[in-house]
Structure 1
Amino acid sequence: MLKIGRVLGGARRASTRTSYAIHKFYNSTHTSEVSLEISPRICLFDVPSRITIKGLEPGIPVTLKSSLIVGPNENEFVSHAHYVTDDKGEVNVNQDASVGGSYEGVFPTGLLTTLEPAPGVSKYARCLKKNASTPDIVHVSLYKGHLPIEAHFVEDASSRPEEVVSCDWERHSMAPGVRRIPVRDGRIRGTLFLPAGSGPFPGVIDTFGAVGGLVEARAALLASRGIAAFALALFAFEDLPQNLLRVEMEYFEEAVDYLLSQPGVIPDRCGFVSVSLSAFIALACGAWMDRVKAVVTIGGFHFFHESHVTYKDKEYFGMSFDRSQVFVKEGEEKALIGEDLLGNTLDPEHPLIVPIEEASDDTYFLALAGDKDAMYLYKGVDTLQRRMSDRGKSDKIRTIVYSDVGHLLEVPYTPDVGYLWQIFTPKFAKSIGRKGVAVLYGSAQSYQYSLAQVQHWHEIRNFISHHIRDESPWYQNYIDEQHV
């Protein structure tokens, strides 16, 4: 159970649409209409909502439960919070403290951020939305009493607690007018999201890490905020290779060509947003491709990791983690990872660190990480900073390490994660004698994680907008021509 005590704020609303669910509630001394209000009920992922309950008796215990079905396997994720109604018989989740459940204290977005696999679902399941064309529907329900989450999943349905009132919370990654364009161009595979309107918009390539496949939600949300975003698949999607053991950087150059050729996209430069395993690719694009001018890494690898990387006359053979630093007790699944996992790659002069100092003078890097990353990749952020400082280029990189945040950092108000099942690359799996282990990707500090989600989201958008739009010579000429 998470205990917190501060109020999360600072994110603006995109809608004022409100929804009420109303239910007649009777007992021997009190009759009223109980209402559960979510405002806005229909909104984008990065918009916080207010949840209020009215019409109950003063001073009674109640439970709020949220439920979300995700993915092709229809895995259910749940959270719950215990409240006591005030002297008016009301609960305001934005102001009142939870006294138990998934979290304690005032946590306005707690019912979202603490979602975790429901009883019966794999404890390593990840609440990750890949397809942006449909919204997440979070079912929020109210119950009398302080109930454990297990009470809702007993085998005998007649013994489950009775819902007093409920409401469906509809959360979108695509704003009205955003265009979703599947891309199958040559060998590149992905989905392009264009903001509403004619532009010109700053453009960005968006990639994820070891999860593979095609993940669209962040790109769709970037487009909803005015940035043309190309969600690019790296591997394990359609006819792409099943892993990243070989990386031909020309694939990403072709993706840049495609993005910058699209009508409405600023054509002379683009950005690249990456997470975890894809970070070394993004860094290399910034180092070697002149039109990639702004690179963001989130919990990223600062060195070439296990892949055979080629680009024109360049060739790198990536290295593995130090296998001696991955400890798994006999009969257990969860890994304990030693602090020396990254070995000598923390030396700024290590030959397999991506040589971002080779980037043009108008290319900038933003490296983000959490200080509770179980793979210690936040240490690589400092390594990149020192490498650039040693070469007189400290102004070309900005680094932020968020307190009490784990390996993953995703768009605002999406769930923190716990342990996820990590399938090793064949080379590492052979060396350690296991195909995979459970690795702690979150930090178990959901409140701090939620704060960092909001902060990093603003950092990314501002960084891309500044370096790809405001610093673009093409865009400046365009603006000048509009004022002639």
Structure 2
Amino acid sequence: MLATNRLLRDSLHMALSTGVWPLLSVEPTRALVDEELKVIVRNLSPRQEVTLHCVHQSEDKDVWEAFGHYISDEHGTITVAKNASMGGTYKGVESMGLMWSMRPVPGSRPGLRLRKKDVLSPMFFHISVYDGHITQGFSQLTALVTRVIERWYMAPGVQRVSLQEKGVQGTLFIPPGPGPFPGLLDMWGGGRGLVEYRAALLASHGFVSLALEYLSSDELNISTIDVSYFETAYQILQSHAMVQRDRLALFGLSFGSAIALSMAAYSKIIKPRCCVCISGSHATPVQTTVLEAVQEISKKIDKVRIEDNQIIWRDIMLPIPADPSMKVHVGQIKCPVLLVNGGDDQNWPAVESAEDMVRIMEKAGNLHLLQVLTYPGAGHLIEPPYTPHHRASNFVLGKDKVVMLWGGQPKPHADAQEDSWEKILAFLRQHLYFAAPQAKL
């Protein structure tokens, strides 16, 4: 601490004697969460050691931080997109390391996961420069310079509309402009509650997005949710005045992917132009009710492993069944499907499922519709880019609160999120904006 205070004192003395203060540029200061930042520090001494630190307080009042250790060049400048971090929560040349490597500060509650609940408000991040290579105690130190930035899931002009119609519950996000736009049904996995932030971001990229609630909530009972619920939601989206009714997609993660694949294969009402399935499996068909599908999974609960008090769920669906009746007949799917999988997924056997889907679709003659992205070292929770990696986090399983192991390592997971999001948006644009209208089947 004495050495750090001495470094700070010397730096301040230099600034006062020369009249030159460090300058921190962070652009853009207000942007979507998937936009890359340009961070540059100027007016440092040549070869000066500094720490770039980013801190964020979540809506739950938990504090998250990331930091990198840098050495300025001969001109006293650091360009984060070009210069390597020598240590900290990330290393190497990482233009967005201050975002994707965020973690709870020491002493925080265990099992945290950083998720945006109120998409109508921004996430605020304080980015600061400290003299010397520091690893802790930032709140007790005085920064050389600080900038505050805003990161949004909703672009200006995006409309958020609560939806409760014909028994369907969710939130509709409508892009700015005259429309109509392509639409998509956004379905998350086994976690409870309505998750809106991905749908808000997709609307910010030009898609009317319906974030669909379909698991237990105060208004919805899982025992009443059947295939007709998703078909009704699809029809509501399809009939909306701002939606191009023949340009709809299904977008699912985890259990939401199982629903997307089931609807694409079996429904006579849901005829999507394309499907995006993240970390999912066809080995959990949803042919009648959601409850029945969940009960089938529960029959294999003895396969669940616990290591270091963390739940490993993936074995519950392994081996992938050979019996065709126990999995979605993906050979019947008639639209393009994009699978996004993590090679270290510890929650669902997404990689093994994709391999089996390739075999089934090749035999059925529709393999040309399937595109598979597999990212070694990535885990289950593949989210929009620059979202912090969570190898494990708290999860409600039935009535019990557990710690679920999702898998993945920070750097490869961050790379997977950035690469897959770019490819997902390109896939959706290709099939919803640019492709010719679907022929009637």
TM-score of the aligned structures, taking structure 2 as reference length: 0.88
Pair 1:388 & 2:361 matched: yes
Cα distance per residue 1:159-207 (max 9 Å; x no partner): x111221111211111122121111213211111111111221110112
1:43 aligns with 2:27: no
Do the aligned partners of 1:247 and 1:308 also contact (CA within 8 Å) in 2? Answer: no
Once the two structures are superposed, what CA deviation does each residue of 1:230-266 show, in whole Å capped at 9, x if it has no partner?
A: 111122444123xx56641111111111111111211
Task: State the alpha-carbon separation in 1 of the partners of residues 236 and 82 from structure 2.
Answer: 48
Q: How far off its partner does 1:474 sit?
A: 8.1
Q: Which of the residues 365, 368, 375 maps onto 1:402?
A: 375
Conserved 8 A contact 1:183-1:190: yes
2:20, 2:432 → 1: CA distance?
Answer: 56
Aligned to 2:416: 452
- Structure with a larger share of its residues in helix: 2
CA displacement 1:317-363 (0-9 Å, x = unmatched): 6334844543336xx422467x754223x24544221223333x3x2
Confirm or deny: 8 A CA contact 2:70 2:78 kept in the other structure.
yes
Structure 1 residues 223 and 302: alpha-carbon distance in aligned structure 2, compared to 1, 3 A threshold: same
**Would you say the 8 A contact 1:308–1:317 is kept in 2?**
no
Q: Which residue of 2 aligns with 1:77?
A: 64
Residue 357 of structure 1 corresponds to which residue in structure 2? 331
Identity of aligned residues (%): 28
What's the counterpart of residue 19 of structure 1? none
**Structure 2 match to 1:420:** 393
Q: 1:26 aligns with which of 10, 13, 26?
A: 13
Structure 1, unmatched stretches of 5+, are 1-23, 154-159, 427-434, 476-484
Residue 123 of structure 1 deviates from its aligned partner by 3.0
Indicate if the aligned counterparts of 1:304 and 1:319 stay in contact, CA closer than 8 A.
Answer: yes
Write out aligned runs for 1:46-445 (5 A): 46-71=34-59, 73-149=60-136, 151-152=137-138, 160-241=140-221, 244=222, 247-287=225-265, 288=267, 289-304=269-284, 309-310=288-289, 318-320=296-298, 322-328=300-306, 332-335=308-311, 340-344=315-319, 346-347=320-321, 349-359=323-333, 361=334, 363-375=335-347, 376-425=349-398, 435=400, 437-445=402-410
Contact preservation (8 Å) 2:283, 2:317: no
Please identify, of 103-112 and 368-377, the stretch whose mean Cα deviation from structure 2 is larger. Answer: 368-377
Structure 1 distance, partners of 2:84, 2:187, is: 37
Moved over 6 A (4+): none
Counterpart CA distance in 2 for 1:135 and 1:236 is 28
Calculate the TM-score normalised by the size of structure 1: 0.81
Would the aligned equivalents of 1:368 and 1:381 in 2 still touch at CA under 8 Å?
no
Shift of 1:274: 0.7
CA RMSD of aligned residues (A): 2.6
Tell me: CA distance 1:308–1:199, structure 2 relative to 1, closer, same or farther (3 Å): closer
Aligned match for 2:427, one of 463, 478, 482: 463
Separation (CA, whole Å) in 1 of partners of 2:322 and 2:80: 47
Q: Distance in 2 between matches of 1:67 and 1:132?
A: 19
1 CA distance for matches of 2:206 and 2:436?
16
Question: Number of matched residues?
Answer: 424
Listed as ranges, the gaps of 5+ residues in structure 2 are 1-10
- Amino acid paired to 2:104: P
- AA partner of residue 431 (structure 2): H
Structure 1 position 94, deviation (Å): 0.8
CA distance in 1, matches of 2:432, 2:165: 24
SS at match of 1:389: helix
Check the 8 A contact 1:269/1:291 in 2, yes or no: no
Amino acid at match of 1:343: L
Give 1:111's aligned amino acid. Answer: L
- Separation of aligned partners in 1, 2:170 and 2:41: 42
Q: Distance in 1 between matches of 2:18 and 2:304?
A: 59
Contact 2:258–2:280 (CA under 8 A) maintained in structure 1: yes
